[in-house]
């Protein structure tokens, strides 16, 4: 994020926050991060920010040597998909100046679209990158699962999830229930402006469907996150496992669960939280 701030933030050299900035409505950085983002605050302290891009990486290595290759996925949501060249520029610039405290330099070898076609390589950009809307993804997932007789009634966590639920004194609590899951899905899709009135009504039904969850098998641990200045460490809960739903009960809401496979749910999405897959 620091590189993107240096590239695109008009107030990068002063203390003016995003909420006070008069150009935030046309700011690429603010558009990427979503309402409530503040450039002056560490990401770990902005758990409620609902970003319009997702970075997925399934490579767990933390140490790399020369000629190692790291692959990752960037999902740009809404009109950000049309601005993907800015992500390429940012990643390439970081590689030239160095990443992390050791300033490790790297080369951006190539960028592929979702169909596996190369759209960037050797400093050459190929136009007309393939893009798919979320509705096509949902349809494709349902057809794939039906054709392969896969069980899509179970939510398997790919990362920890912090659901959008508060207790009475407004402190965050960890709770996996139909209400918490439904609220998290609804808030995510609503912030991305993907819900119609009938969708709101269906997700309200989900939040009140106390029989939809059949069983929960989760293990709780903790993970540390070091703030940028290195003077403070935050502790977050980390869950692994799965949640099994009633076969008939989940069917009316399955499209929302599948949509958020791609879009993530809950808090701290920018820290890699909120990832899961149905199956």
The 3-state DSSP class for residue 55 equals strand
CA–centroid distance for 244 within its chain: 22
User: Hey, how many other C-beta atoms are within 10 angstroms of the C-beta on 1?
Assistant: 16
What topology does CATH give the domain 134-278?
A: Alpha-Beta Plaits (3.30.70)
User: What are the start-end ranges of the H helices in 16-153?
Assistant: 28-33, 84-97, 134-147
17: its two tokens: 């926050």
Instruction: Name the helix (H) or strand (E) containing 215.
Output: strand 213-226
Can you point out the beta strands (E) in 61-127? 73-76, 110-112, 118-121, 124-125
pLDDT tens, per residue, the chain with 279 residues: 777 788 888 888 888 988 889 988 888 888 898 888 998 888 888 888 899 999 988 888 888 888 999 999 999 888 888 788 888 888 888 888 888 778 889 999 999 988 888 888 887 888 777 778 899 999 998 888 777 766 778 999 998 888 866 544 444 545 788 999 999 999 999 999 999 999 999 999 999 998 899 999 999 888 888 776 556 788 888 888 999 999 888 989 999 999 999 999 998 998 889 999 998
In the beta sheet, which residues pair with residue 115?
none
Cα angle 223, 270, 56 (rounded to 5 degrees) comes to: 90
List alpha helices for the chain, DSSP H.
2-8, 28-33, 84-97, 134-147, 178-191, 197-207, 247-250, 254-263
Helix and strand numbers, DSSP H then E, in the chain: 8, 9
Task: Please tell me the pTM assigned to this model.
Answer: 0.87
Of 48, 192, 182, 55, the C-alpha closest to 134 is: 192
236: closest CA among 267, 261, 276?
267
Query: Boundaries of CATH 3.30.70.1900 in the chain?
Result: 134-278
Phi-psi region of 101 (alpha: psi -120 to 50; beta: other; left: phi over 0): alpha
pLDDT of residue 146: 74
Strands 213-226, 233-245: pairing kind? antiparallel
């Amino acid at each position: 994020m620091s590189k993107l701030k240096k590239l695109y933030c008009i107030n990068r050299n002063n203390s003016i926050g995003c909420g006070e900035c008069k150009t935030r409505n046309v700011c690429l950085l603010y558009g990427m991060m979503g309402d409530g983002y503040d450039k002056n605050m560490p990401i770990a302290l902005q758990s409620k920010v609902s970003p319009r891009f997702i970075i997925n990486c399934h490579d767990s290595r933390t140490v790399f040597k020369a000629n190692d290759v790291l692959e990752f996925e960037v999902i740009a949501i809404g009109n950000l998909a049309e601005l993907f060249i800015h992500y390429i520029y940012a990643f390439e610039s970081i590689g030239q100046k160095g990443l992390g405290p050791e300033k490790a330099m790297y080369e951006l070898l190539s960028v592929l679209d979702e169909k596996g076609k190369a759209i960037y390589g050797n400093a050459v950009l190929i136009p007309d990158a393939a893009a798919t809307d979320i509705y096509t993804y949902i349809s494709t997932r349902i057809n794939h699962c039906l054709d392969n007789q896969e069980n899509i009634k179970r939510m398997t966590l790919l990362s920890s999830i912090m659901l959008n639920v508060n207790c009475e004194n407004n402190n965050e609590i960890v709770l996996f229930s139909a209400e918490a899951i439904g609220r998290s899905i609804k808030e995510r899709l609503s912030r991305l402006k993907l819900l119609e009135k009938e969708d709101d009504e269906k997700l309200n039904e989900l939040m009140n469907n106390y029989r939809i969850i059949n069983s929960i098998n989760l293990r709780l641990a903790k993970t540390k996150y070091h703030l940028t200045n290195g003077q403070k460490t935050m502790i977050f809960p980390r869950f692994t496992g799965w949640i099994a739903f009633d076969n008939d009960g989940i069917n009316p809401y399955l499209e929302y669960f599948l949509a958020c496979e791609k879009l993530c749910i809950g808090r701290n999405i920018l820290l890699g939280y909120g990832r899961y897959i149905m199956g």
